[in-house]
A = this chain, B = another copy of it.
Amino acid sequence: MSRLAGIDVGGTKCLGVVIDDEGHLLQQTRLPTPYGGDALVATLAELAGQLEPYDSLGIGIPGLVTNEGILRAAPNIGGIADTPVGPRLRERLGHSVEVDNDGTCAAVAEWKLGAARGAKDIIMVTLGTGIGGGIIAGNRLQRGANGFAGEIGHMLVDPNGPDCPCGRRGCWERFASGSALGWLARRAASEGRLAGVVPPDGDIHEIRPETLTQAAREGNSSAVAVLDEFAKWVAVGLVNLTNILDPAMFVLGGGLAELGSLLHGPASRWFRELLYQPHLRPHPQLVIAELGERAGAYGAAILPTVHT
Contact = CB atoms under 8 A, between A and B. Distances in A.
Given A138-B140, A240-B156, A277 B246 contact: no
Nearest to A243: B151
Given A120-B145, A148-B281, A243 B155 contact: yes
Given A151-B244, A156-B239, A142 B138 contact: yes
A186 interface: no
Q: Which of A160, A240, A282 has the most CB of B within 10 A?
A: A240
Contacts of A171: 276
A78 to B, nearest CB: 17
A159 B246 CA distance: 20
A163 to B, nearest CB: 13
A1 interface: no
Given A245-B142, A246-B143, A247-B144, A276 B151 contact: yes
A49 B223 CA distance: 64
B168 A274 contact: yes
A135 interface: yes
Contacts of A232: 159
Interface in A95-153: 120-121, 135, 137-138, 140, 142-152
A291 interface: no
Quick one: copies of this chain in the complex? 2
Interface string A41-68: 0000000000000000000000010000
A236 interface: yes
Contacts of A150: 244, 246
A73 interface: yes
Nearest to A137: B142
Interface string A4-15: 000000000000
A154 interface: yes
Interface string A159-176: 110000010100100000
Interface of A: 64, 72-73, 82, 120-121, 135, 137-138, 140, 142-152, 154-160, 166, 168, 171, 232-233, 236, 239-241, 243-248, 273-274, 276-277, 280-282, 284
